Chains A and B, each alone.
Chain A
Amino acid sequence: MIIGLIGVCLSGALADGPRRGIDHIKVVAVPEDGSVLEIIDRLTKLSGYAFLYEDNLKDELHKRIRIENGKSLQEVLNSISQQTSLEFRVVNKNIIVRKKAGLSGESAESRQIKKVSGKVTSKLDGSAMPGVNVVLKGSQTGASTDVSGRYTIEVTGSNPVLVFSYIGFSTEEVAVGTRSTIDLAMTESAETLQEAVVTALGIKREERSLGYSVGTVAGKDITHVVQENVLSSLAGKVSGVQISQTGGAGSSVSMVIRGAKSLSTDNQPLFVIDGVPINNSLSNVGQVAGNGNTVDYGNAISDINPEDVESISVLKGPSAAALYGTRAGNGVVLITTKSGAKNKRMTVTVTSNTVFDNPYKFLPMETKYAVGNLPYQPNAQGVIVDQSGNPYTIDESQSQWAGPELDKGYKAIQWNSPTDENGNRIPTPLVSHPNNVKNFVRTGITSTNGVSIANGTEKMDYRLSYSNMNNHGIIPNSDLFKNSLALNSSVKASNKLRISTSIDLSQQRSDNRPASGNGTNPLEAAYNVGPNNDIRDLRNYWVPGQEGLQQLSVAQGSYNNPWFMAYEVNNSFVRNRVFGNLKADWQITPEFSLSGTYALDTYNEKRETKITNSYTKETHGGAYGLMNIDQYERNVSFLATYRKELNDFNLTFSVGGNDRYTTSSNNNSSSKSGSGLVIPNLFTVANIAPANLNYSSYFGQRGIRSLYGLANIGYKDKIYLDLTARNDWSSTLPKGANSYFYPSASLSMLLNELIPMTNRISLLKLRAGVAQVGNDAAPYSLYNTLGNAGVWGGTIIRLTKSGSILLPTLKPELSTSYEGGVDLNVLHNRLRFAGTYYVQENRNQILPSTIDGASGFSTKNINAGLLVSRGIELSLGGTPIDKNGWRWDLNFNFTRNRTIIKELAPGIDKYTFWTAGKGGAWTYVGETVGDMYDAQLVTVTDKTSPYYGYPILSSDGQWNSLSATSARNKIGNYNPNFLLGAQTNISYKGFTLNMNFDWRAGGSFLSQTYRYYESDFHSKRYLESIVSPNGLTGDALAAYLKANADKYIIPHGNFFPQVGGQTAATGGFSWAGDNGTSNGNFIPGVTAQYDDKGNITGYTENLGGPGTVYFGYNDGYAWAFNKAALFDASFVKLREISLSHDLPRAWIRGLGIQNASLGVYSRNIILWTAAKIAIDPEQAFQPTTSPTGSTGSFMQGVERYNVTPWVIPVGFKLNVTF
Chain B
Amino acid sequence: MKNTTRNYTAVLVLVLFLVSCKDITELNKNTNGVEPQTVNPDLILPTVLTETGKTFLNLGFGDASGIVQHTQGDAFNAGRDYYDWGQSNSWISPSSSSGDFYGIQRNNKLLYDRSVTLGYKFHQAISLIVKSMNFGLVADLWGDAPYSMANQGETGTPETISPAYDSQESIYAGIMADLETANTLLATNPASLETVSSGIDVIYDGDPTKWRKLANTLLLRYYMRLSNKKPDVAKAGIEKIVNNPTQYPIILETADDATMNYPGVTGGVDDWPGNTYFDASGQGYRRLKPCQTLVSALQKLNDPRLAVWAKKVETPLAIDPSLPDTTDKISNGVRYFGVKAPALLQTQKIAPVNTDPNYVGLPPGIQSPSTYNANPVVGQASYNPHVSYLNEIYTQPSTTKSPLLKARLASAAEVQFILAEAALKGMAVGDAQMYYNAGVRASLTTWGVGSQYATYIANPGVAFVGTVKQVITQKWIASWTAATEAWFDWRRTGYPEMKAGPYAKRPELPVRFYYSIDEQRYNTANTTAAMGNLAQTQYSQADGANSAWSKPWLLQGSGSPSNFPY
Contact = CB atoms under 8 A, between A and B. Distances in A.
Interface stretch (B7-15, B232-240, B247-255, B289-297): B7-15
Interface in A376-411: 386-390, 392-393, 395, 397-400
Interface in A783-807: 783-787, 789-801, 803, 805, 807
A400 B11 contact: no
B32 A640 contact: no
B368 A1112 contact: yes
A853 B36 contact: no
Interface in B377-409: 377-381, 383
B425 interface: no
A963 B380 contact: no
B523 A675 contact: no
A938 B335 CA distance: 45
Given A619-B280, A674-B278, A960 B517 contact: no
A795 B266 CA distance: 11
Contact of A388 (B32, B329, B540): B329
A590 B470 CA distance: 104
Nearest to B92: A853
A233 interface: no
Nearest to B161: A907
Nearest to A962: B544
Interface stretch (B117-125, B173-181, B342-350, B442-450): B342-350
A592 interface: yes
A731 interface: yes
B158 interface: yes
A780 B146 contact: no
Contact of A1094 (B33, B90, B536): B536
A1 B152 CA distance: 81
| Tier of interface size on chain B | 35 or more
A738 interface: yes
A910 B525 CA distance: 13
B456 to A, nearest CB: 35
Contacts of B505: 954-956
A735 B21 CA distance: 14
Contacts of B163: 852, 854-855
B46 A797 contact: yes
B265 A691 contact: yes
A682 interface: no
B265 A387 contact: no
B107 A800 contact: yes
Contact of B50 (A792, A856, A954): A792
Contacts of A922: 521
A780 B550 CA distance: 46
A699 B31 contact: yes
Nearest to A777: B28
B167 to A, nearest CB: 15
A588 to B, nearest CB: 6
Nearest to A938: B542
A657 interface: yes
B503 interface: yes
A700 to B, nearest CB: 8
Contacts of A592: 4, 7
Contact of A705 (B19, B202, B268, B282): B19
B32 A785 contact: yes
B465 interface: no
Interface in A86-124: none
B57 to A, nearest CB: 14
Given A785-B36, A786-B34, A792-B263, A966 B27 contact: no
Contacts of A956: 82, 84, 367, 503-505
Contacts of B520: 963, 965-966
B537 interface: yes
A483 B492 CA distance: 73
A657 B342 contact: no
Contacts of A1075: 343, 346-347, 371, 378
A509 interface: no
B7 A853 contact: no
Q: Which of A783, A906, A955, A961 is most buried by chain B, counting CB atoms within 10 A of its CB?
A: A955
A388 B24 contact: no
B379 A853 contact: no
A146 interface: no
A732 interface: yes
A798 B343 contact: no
A105 B107 CA distance: 99
A396 to B, nearest CB: 9
A1120 B536 CA distance: 23
A785 B34 contact: yes
Contact of A793 (B4, B36, B107, B270): B270
A738 B541 contact: no
Nearest to A784: B36
A588 B3 contact: yes
Nearest to B15: A657
Nearest to B29: A780
A735 to B, nearest CB: 4
B18 A659 contact: yes
Interface string B552-563: 000000000000
B350 to A, nearest CB: 5
B376 to A, nearest CB: 4
Contacts of A482: none
Interface string B420-447: 0000000000000000000000000000
Contact of A852 (B44, B523, B542): B523
Contacts of B371: 374, 1073, 1075
B209 interface: no
Contact of B161 (A374, A399, A852, A961): A852
Interface in B147-181: 150-154, 156-163
A1119 to B, nearest CB: 9
A907 B7 contact: no
Contacts of A657: 14-15, 18
Given A735-B25, A792-B50, A851 B7 contact: no
A372 B379 contact: yes
Interface in A432-452: none
Interface stretch (B64-72, B98-106, B126-134, B182-190): B98-106
B379 A373 contact: yes
B200 interface: yes
Contacts of B7: 586, 588, 592, 594, 640
Contacts of B199: 795-796
A389 B161 contact: no
Nearest to B280: A619
B541 A805 contact: no
Given A374-B371, A852-B522, A703 B544 contact: no
Interface in B109-123: 109-110
A1092 B346 contact: no
B263 A801 contact: no
Contacts of B109: 856
23 contacts: A372-B378, A388-B329, A620-B277, A691-B265, A792-B50, A801-B106, A801-B107, A803-B106, A851-B162, A853-B522, A854-B91, A855-B151, A906-B157, A907-B162, A910-B521, A954-B506, A956-B82, A956-B503, A956-B505, A958-B84, A966-B546, A1075-B346, A1111-B368
Given A731-B27, A789-B47, A794-B266, 18 more contacts: A386-B376, A390-B376, A592-B7, A702-B27, A729-B24, A730-B24, A784-B36, A785-B33, A785-B36, A807-B156, A851-B161, A853-B93, A855-B151, A856-B154, A954-B506, A962-B544, A965-B520, A1075-B346
Interface of B: 3-4, 7, 10-11, 14-15, 18-19, 21, 23-28, 30-36, 39, 43-44, 46-47, 50-51, 82, 84, 86-88, 90-93, 100, 102-103, 105-107, 109-110, 145-146, 150-154, 156-163, 199-200, 202, 263, 265-270, 277-278, 280-283, 328-330, 335, 341-344, 346-347, 349-350, 367-368, 370-371, 374, 376-381, 383, 503-507, 517-524, 528, 536-547, 550, 566
Minimum-distance CB pairs A-B, first 7: A853-B92, A387-B343, A785-B33, A907-B158, A793-B263, A855-B153, A856-B151
